[in-house]
Amino acid sequence: MKKKYSYIPKNETVSYTVFKNPIGLTGLAATKKGLIRLANKVPSEKAFGNMLVKNLGFQIENNPGNFKNLIEQFQAYFKGELKSFKFPLDLRLGTLFQQRVWKNLLTIPYGDTRSYKWMAKSIKNPDSARAVGNANGQNPLPIIVPCHRVVRENGALGGYTGGVQIKQYLLDLEKTS
């Protein structure tokens, strides 16, 4: 069973929705502070809602209208027309180390890649490349917080929570735009 996060108030409600895109169904969830969870390849809207409740402890409210602008941004991204997302983020679903890694991911330019070693050095923790990789794997906002832009030092893809085929798809999309 997944750990519930103790820093989420039991009465906190998130709005959520699911939308279809070239990599499947994507679930979006936001608090009043911003987007807190994005999940790719969700089986259904109901399954995504259940994950928000069971794994994260949120109360939920299906509200697609809250995400209209963000979904339009995703549509533009998948057409190769958008290079960065403009939507408030709520990154509290991680440790302070993970949050530092995720914030640093936002500095990697569209279409570029960086290595895990580069990431470790850039957060002033040069021996933490493996921990950086683990933090990437826990990224609650993939694509928007572009963990897909981090590869091994030799250029090999490394892992990706959504599957390396999606990582390659995203990198190819960004290279050709």
- Which residues form the catalytic set? 147
80 Ramachandran zone, left/alpha/beta (phi>0; psi -120 to 50): left
Residues with Cβ within 8 Å of 30's Cβ and at least 6 positions away in sequence, in order, are 14, 15, 16, 36, 66, 67, 90
Distance CA(140)–CA(135), nearest Å, equals 10
Within a 10 A sphere around the Cβ of 4, how many other Cβ atoms?
12
